Amino acid sequence: MNTERFQTVAGKYSRLRIALVGDFCLDRYLEIDPARNEVSIETSLAVRNVVNIRSQPGGAGTILNNLVALGIGEIYPVGFAGDDGEGFELIRALRIKPGVRLDHFVQTPDRHTFTYTKPLVLEAGQPPQELNRLDIKNWMPTPANISEIFCRSIDALAAFVDAIIVLDQVDVPDTGVVTPRVLEILGRIAHARPGLLIIADSRRGLRDFPAVTFKMNAAELARMSDASEAATIESIAAQASALARKNARRVFVTLAENGILGASPDGNFEHVPTFPVRGEIDIVGAGDSVTANLAASLAAGASLRESLEIANAAASIVIHQLGTTGTATVAEIGGLLASASAMTAHSQPNGK
């Protein structure tokens, strides 16, 4: 993808309106200085001293962070926070993001704020070392009245947004935002508005989702296809193409070190390999950066191949950001795509 074409696509980002439906959480990083380790006088147990605390939106918030980094004009999160300290931090972190509109974000005492607390040991000259994580989740189903609020919000937003992203992050079904009732509404909208991009991802798989644009990994695709996990790009493409034809929607498959594949209902598929690894990597957040960039680029008019190239570049940038769940800006993505284009031209005879 050449620089001019990328700038044409990215130039439309500031005019896009994207709704983001899903499980927002608070990513809280506790930075530990091992030089300050102590032993508790009271318990005789080791004490790790936290010297800095960083908080940022996580879960669906990681997709939001990437949309913000791209300069999307208006972003509408549809989700919840609890009426607790973590909820205060999460809403504050969301509110300061440019372009984020919190009209459809609910704060309720009936839910805990989904929280990942990540202790990080920071030692000079070493990559951050993450210790055991401390999680706060909800273990009971989302109340029906809260789910209905989400449904009304999604219905209202579908009338004017350019795309809807859906992220189901919870491990226990129906304890988050993406309830069966929400899926019902999304299916109805997808049927009534076939031209509206709705792209969905779920850590528990998309089998119960309506026919929208699916983003998944190869293992999830195999389970959804009731087949063994495919071993080659061609066999993965065959599974993805069959699912795309069935749903009449595109299917995107992340392939870890083998890149990204996209299939269209017409049987066309594209595969884009990964960029070379440049030192230490951390894959956390790479999938969410792919989701954000697929949605933004497709909503801005990118082709199947172009959207894969943009998302692949974003993921390459994110995995090289250590000690955080990273993002990729338009400038960073454009720079990496330009470098790749220059290398391809240089490798061809006579630069052609």
CB distance 60 to 23 below 8 Å: yes
Residue 258, Cβ density class (10 Å: 0-12 exposed, 13-18 middle, ≥19 buried): middle
Q: Helix-strand-coil percent breakdown of the chain, rounded to 5?
A: 40, 25, 35
In CATH terms, the fold of domain 3-26+56-120+133-351 is UDP-N-acetylmuramoyl-L-alanine:D-glutamate ligase (3.40.1190)
Per-residue confidence in pLDDT tens, the chain, 352 aa? 888 999 999 999 999 999 999 999 999 999 999 999 999 999 999 999 999 999 999 999 999 999 999 999 999 999 999 999 999 999 999 999 999 999 999 999 999 999 999 999 999 888 889 899 999 999 999 999 999 999 999 999 999 999 999 999 999 999 999 999 999 999 999 999 999 999 999 999 999 999 999 999 999 999 998 888 877 999 999 999 999 999 999 999 999 888 999 999 999 999 999 876 665 544 555 789 999 999 999 999 999 999 999 999 999 888 656 555 678 899 999 988 888 777 665 555 554 4
Domain spans, the chain: 3-26+56-120+133-351
CA torsion 283→287→288→290, rounded to 10°? 120
